[in-house]
Amino acid sequence: KAGVTQTPRYLIKTRGQQVTLSCSPISGHRSVSWYQQTPGQGLQFLFEYFSETQRNKGNFPGRFSGRQFSNSRSEMNVSTLELGDSALYLCASSFGTPQFAGELFFGEGSRLTVL
């Protein structure tokens, strides 16, 4: 069974630009969560989607947004990029809520560099 797929794997942008990252979850998984990983800050929760609905959002500015499609694929968008947005963005899928479904399956991430 195919794992979680994230595209693109690497990208370089300049300040002020916007970026869209894509995540295809494991077949049958309806929950998709996004995390930002930076050295020293660990995995910071961005948002979680289930059946096309955003159920939870982390403490990130409104420049960070996302959506989920009917096939459970998800995208996240960052507008007006800042240098501090440089990070590895990880997507994770699961059958449902973490407390009930348990394991999150992570993708390999999209490494964003903002110059």
Partner 1 sequence: GENVEQHPSTLSVQEGDSAVIKCTYSDSASNYFPWYKQELGKRPQLIIDIRSNVGEKKDQRIAVTLNKTAKHFSLHITETQPEDSAVYFCAASNTDKLIFGTGTRLQVFP
Number of residues in contact with partner 1 under rule CB under 8 A = 26
Cβ pair 115, 13 in contact under 8 A: yes
Between CA 60 and CA 26 the distance in angstroms is 26
Q: Is residue 65 involved in binding partner 1 (CB under 8 A)?
A: no
Interface pick for partner 1 out of 28, 59, 70, 84 (rule CB under 8 A): 59
Q: What value, to the nearest 5°, has the Cα angle with vertex 77 and ends 72 and 23?
A: 30
Q: Which one of the spans 8-16, 21-29, 73-81, 102-110 is the region binding partner 1 (CB under 8 A)?
A: 102-110
Identity at 84, one-letter amino acid code: G
Q: Is residue 43 involved in binding partner 1 (CB under 8 A)?
A: yes
Interface pick for partner 1 out of 15, 27, 80, 103 (rule CB under 8 A): 103
